[in-house]
Amino acid sequence: MAQIVRKNFDDADETRPFQDDKGRLDVIQTSGGAVGRAVFEPGWRWSEHVKPLAGTDSCEAAHTGYMVSGRMNVVMDDGTSEEYGPGDFMQIEPGHDAWVVGDERVVVVDWTGFGAYAKSSG
């Protein structure tokens, strides 16, 4: 029998807040793994608002996702950078920092990198 699934990020299986009320990650568990919707508020930066939770020098998650709204700059540990905006597909390897560009909230849906993202390392 075929299966059909419907879930809503507004009623996520788990929500992980970022430090200083700079956003959150809503996680839905699927048979294919975790899918996340991240909401990054203006002023959010990985190295300030997630690094204390992750306990690593840079983001060690790989990301495959879709930018719904806002603008985000990503800089790899080697200095390579890219700015993403609404409608962009993103694929980012581990070893990077990222931050919101401008005054608009960033919303990203990611289907590879948010399973353990923003979980406390302790």
Q: Which CATH number is 91's domain given?
A: 2.60.120.10
Q: How many domains does the chain have?
A: 1
**Containing H/E element for 77?**
none
Range of the domain at 17: 13-110
Q: What dihedral angle (degrees, nearest 10) is formed by the CA atoms of 23, 86, 36, 63?
A: -110
Residue 72 domain-assigned (yes or no): yes
Q: Which residue has the tokens 């959150």?
A: 24
Amino acid at 75: V
Residue 8 falls inside a structural domain? no
Residue 50's pLDDT is: 87
Phi, psi of 112 (to 5 degrees): -130, -30
pLDDT per residue rounded down to tens, the chain (122 residues): 668 999 999 999 999 998 889 999 999 999 889 999 999 999 999 999 888 888 899 999 999 999 999 999 999 999 999 999 999 999 999 999 999 999 999 999 999 977 766 666 54
